[in-house]
Amino acid sequence: GGLFAWLRGRCLGRGAAVDPARDTFGAMTGLYGAIQPADSVSLSTRTHGAVFNLEYSPDGSVLTVACEQTEVLLFDPISSKHIKTLSEAHEDCVNNIRFLDNRLFATCSDDTTIALWDLRKLNTKVCTLHGHTSWVKNIEYDTNTRLLVTSGFDGNVIIWDTNRCTEEGCPHKKFFHTRFLMRMRLTPDCSKMLISTSSGYLLILHDLDLNKSLEVGSYPILRARRTTSSSDITSSGSSGPRAMGSPCHQSNSGPLSEKTLSRPSQREGGSPRNSLEVLTPEVPGERDRGNCITSLQLHPKGWATLLRCSSNTDDQEWTCVYEFQEGAPVRPVSPRCSLRLTHCIEEANVGRGYIKELCFSPDGRMISSPHSFGIRLLGFDAHCSELVDCLPREASPLREIRCLYSHDDVVLTTKFSPTHCQIASGCLSGRVSLYQPKF
């Protein structure tokens, strides 16, 4: 019994034998108790406008800022010094930045393009990628295959082969399409792709194979698991344009059933590659109304997903944490994964119409969430314990660890440094603030 208990604890991430650095993580968490606004960088809003996204380089040496007015700003996060402004990075709003390594990063924009940049030569782009037909909102990167993955409001998820990148661009292909697409994320091990929609659905592609494009009928759809309604997935679950119809691009073929599902990608003796599951996450207070999943993040160890949800009337916003509960499928088309709401908290309803991007800390113990004119540091309990060590039987409130206010406008995005005890936030009026411990 002791051996099996130890093995189970190891699988769940419990115990010093699994993660010797957890004491270090605990010390880092203690430092956040002394964190204060440190420095702010205020540039003329006439040049760069609102701050939509923040991204640190993997080594924490550079902080990049995606701005509303075509610009990308670069800062030294330690000295808070402005390094460089890419004044015409794009022809429209810059929405997201993603580092591929410590030097190469990608930006995406409402001008429908993605640009690759090298920190060693910022005067010109490495190349510009064309393929989307609407605003590009999200960038992910598979470090194993060196494939760039982007998504946009055209509903497309596109794969770009950076192994064969030239000045003219990269070979690309459309991987997936869904209506009402908001955000797309890859799990840390790149075994799953999660897609959130403005109609309240969460799509999960299991056993991900990015080398195989998904066309209509080319992948098995797992039985929809609904938590707020027993109606068919192709019917409208609530009023308002955000909840009209199914998110799947097969919605015109009628109600989904096991008889109509194809399974060409089924592996012998295993589960199907790129099998799709459609979930409707439970949102507190939204059982009778539709909701929009505006922000989607994943726990750094792949244990859970973090969602920012708003009602379809924008009168409520929630930050919700859902634990992944996986199991072997009973049948090839039965669910493999479900989401259990473990923690949630209601957010300040300010800045309606703008998406607030929240994030996990590098160790996964805390959440930084935009909250009115500042940020809130949230934990799963008062001691900032690991999620797996404090899973409640029923959904519990997230604990407020600290509130930090240093902006004079609505905060839209926040990010933890991957290497230092530092948090950055950006607001609607263009100000970037840094927070770090003060004793």
Please tell me which residue, 39 or 210, carries the higher pLDDT value.
Answer: 210
Please tell me which residue, 64 or 251, carries the higher pLDDT value.
Answer: 64
- Alpha-carbon distance of 113 to 110, in angstroms, equals 7
pTM of the model: 0.81
Residue 77 lies in a domain: no
Mean pLDDT across the stretch 125-145? 94
Mean pLDDT across the stretch 28-39? 70
pLDDT tier at 127, thresholds 50, 70, 90: very high
**385 pLDDT more than 80:** yes
- Kindly report the average pLDDT of the chain as a whole number: 79
Cβ neighbours of residue 229 closer than 8 Å, sequence gap 6 or more: 237, 280
The pLDDT value given to residue 7: 60
pLDDT tier at 200, thresholds 50, 70, 90: confident
The pLDDT value given to residue 110: 96
- 239-261: per-residue pLDDT in tens? 233 333 344 443 332 322 222 23
- Alpha-carbon distance of 234 to 301, in angstroms, equals 33
Strand partners, 33: none
The pLDDT value given to residue 39: 62
Residue 105 lies in a domain: no
Lowest mean pLDDT, pick from 93-102, 148-157, 268-277, 287-296:
268-277
- Alpha-carbon distance of 408 to 428, in angstroms, equals 9
38-71: b or e for each residue (b if 16 or more CB lie within 10 Å)? beebebebeebbbbbbbbbbeebebbbbbbbbbb
Q: Is the sign of the CA dihedral 388, 391, 396, 401 positive or negative?
A: negative
Residue 43 lies in a domain: no
Highest-scoring range by mean pLDDT, 269-273, 288-292, 319-323: 319-323
Please tell me which residue, 44 or 324, carries the higher pLDDT value.
Answer: 324
The pLDDT value given to residue 291: 74
The pLDDT value given to residue 233: 31
Residue 196 lies in a domain: no
Q: What is the CA radius of gyration of the chain?
A: 21
The pLDDT value given to residue 38: 72
Residue 164 lies in a domain: no
Return the structure tokens found at 378.
């949230």
Strand partners, 141: 148
Mean pLDDT across the stretch 138-160? 94
% of the chain beyond a pLDDT of 90: 47
- 294-319: per-residue pLDDT in tens? 899 999 999 999 999 887 666 778 99
Residue 298 lies in a domain: yes
pLDDT tier at 274, thresholds 50, 70, 90: confident
Judge residue 396's burial from the number of C-beta atoms within 10 Å of its C-beta, 0-12 exposed, 13-18 middle, 19 or more buried: middle
Please tell me which residue, 172 or 332, carries the higher pLDDT value.
Answer: 172
Please tell me which residue, 45 or 200, carries the higher pLDDT value.
Answer: 200
Taking alpha carbons only, the member of 202, 106, 180 closest to residue 147 is 106
The pLDDT value given to residue 169: 82
The pLDDT value given to residue 231: 31
pLDDT tier at 342, thresholds 50, 70, 90: very high
- 346-367: per-residue pLDDT in tens? 988 888 888 999 999 998 999 9
Mean pLDDT across the stretch 65-90? 91
Lowest mean pLDDT, pick from 132-141, 266-275, 321-330:
266-275
Domain of 413, in residue numbers? 285-438
**264 pLDDT more than 50:** no
Mean pLDDT across the stretch 327-336? 53
Contact 318, 285 (CB under 8 A): yes
pLDDT tier at 383, thresholds 50, 70, 90: confident
Return the structure tokens found at 113.
């393009």
Mean pLDDT across the stretch 337-348? 86
**216 pLDDT more than 50:** no
Q: Domains in the chain: how many in total?
A: 1
Mean pLDDT across the stretch 122-149? 94
End-to-end CA distance of the chain: 47
Residue 226 lies in a domain: no
Residue 422 lies in a domain: yes
3-class SS string, the chain = CHHHHHHHHHHCCCCCCCCCCHHHHHHHHHHHCCEEEEEEEECCHHHHCCEEEEEECCCCCCEEEEECCCCEEEEECCCCEEEEEECCCCCCCEEEEEECCCCEEEEEECCCEEEEEECCECCCCCEEEECCCCCEEEEEEECCCCEEEEEECCCEEEEEEHHHCECCECCEEEEEEECCEEEEEECCCCCCEEEEECCCCEEEEECCCCCCCCCCCCCCECCCEECCCCCCCCCCCCCCHHHCCCCECCHHHCCCCHHHCCCCCCCCCCCCCCEEEEEECCCCCCCCCCEEEEEEEECCCCCEEEEEEEECCCCCEEEEEEEEEECCCCCCCCCCEEEEEEEEEECCCCCCCCCCECEECCCCCEEEEEECCEEEEEECCCCCCCHHHCCCCCCEECEEEEEEECCCCCEEEEEECCCCCCEEEEECCCEEEEEEECC
Mean pLDDT across the stretch 112-126? 94
pLDDT tier at 281, thresholds 50, 70, 90: confident
Give the CATH number for residue 336. 2.130.10.10
- Alpha-carbon distance of 93 to 147, in angstroms, equals 24
